[in-house]
Structure 1
Amino acid sequence: MRVLVLGGGYAGVALTRRLEDRLPNDVDLLLVDDTGEHLVQHELHRAIRRPAIVDEISIPLSDVTYRADVKTAAVTGIDADEQAVTLADGEEIEYDACAVCLGAETADYGIPGVTEHGQPLKRLPDAEAIRADFLDALDRPDGRVVIGGAGLSGVQTAGELAALAREELGSVDAGPELLLLEQQSSVAPGFDAAFQDAIAQALRDRGVRIRTDAVVAGADGDSVTLAGDEEIACEQFVWTGGITGTAALDGERPGVRGDLRIADRTFVLGDAARVVDADGGPVPASAQAAVREARAVAESVVRLVDQEQETESGDEGEALFPPRPEQFRFDAAGWVVSVGDGAVAQIGPAVLTGRAAKAAKAGTGAGYLGSVGEIERALDLVYDELGAAGDR
Structure 2
Amino acid sequence: MENLEVSQLSPSQIARILLKDLDVFDNSSYLLKPFDVITIDFFDSFSKNILSNKSINHLPEIAALGFWLRKANLNQLKAQNSHLFVGASYRTSPLGKVFHVCPANVDTMFIYSLTVSVLMGNKNILRVSSRMEAPHVKMLFDILNSTIQQEKFTVFKSYINIISYPHNDSISSFISEKVNVRVIWGGDQTIKTFKKFRTSPRTKDIVFADRVSMLCIDCNSYLDLDENEIKGVVRNFYNDAYTFDQMGCSSPQTIYFIGNKDEYKKCIVKFQEDVSDYLKINYDTDLASISSLKLNRMVDDAIEDVIIAQIGDNYIKFLELNTNIDESTLHGCGGGYFYIRNIESTTSLVNLHTPKVQTVSYYGLKESDLKALCQLSNGEGIDRIVPLGQALHFNYIWDGYNLFDELSKKVFIK
Task: Identify the TM-score tier after normalising by the shorter chain.
Answer: under 0.3
Larger relative helix fraction = 2
TM-score (norm 2): 0.25
TM-score (norm 1): 0.26
